[in-house]
Amino acid sequence: LNKAKKIKQPISDNINKQITNFYKEHKLSQTFLLTHSKNLIYNNFTIGKNFLIDNGISLIDYENHEKLLRDIGLSKINNKVLFVEGKTENEILETIFSPINVKIKHLNGSSEVIETFKKYHSFHSHIRDVQFCFLIDKDTRSEMDIEEIRKIDTTFFDEHFIIMDKHEIENYLLDSKLIHSLFKSHNTINKDVKILEETIITNKIKEIADLNKEQVFRKTIQNLNQNSLHKIKLALSTKTIEVNNQDTYNNYIDSVFSSNSITQTVDIIKKNFEKIEEINSNWETEWKNLCDGKIVLNQLKSFLSKELEITPNRVIKELINLAQESKSHEFNLLIEKIKKLYK
Is-contact 109 140, C-beta < 8 A? yes
pLDDT in tens, 137-154: 876 777 778 888 899 999
Confidence of residue 7 (pLDDT cuts 50, 70, 90): very low
Return left, alpha or beta for 255; rule: phi > 0 is left, psi -120 to 50 is alpha, else beta.
Answer: alpha
Look at the chain and count its residues.
343
**Mean of per-residue pLDDT scores for the chain:** 83
d(CA 141, CA 228): 9
> Smallest Cα–Cα separation from 319: which of 342, 298, 339?
298
Say if residues 291 and 213 touch (Cβ distance below 8 Å). yes
Choice between 44 and 75, residue whose per-residue pLDDT is larger: 44
Task: Give the residue with greater pLDDT, 227 vs 150.
Answer: 150
10-44 pLDDT tens trace: 556 776 777 677 666 666 566 777 775 555 666 66
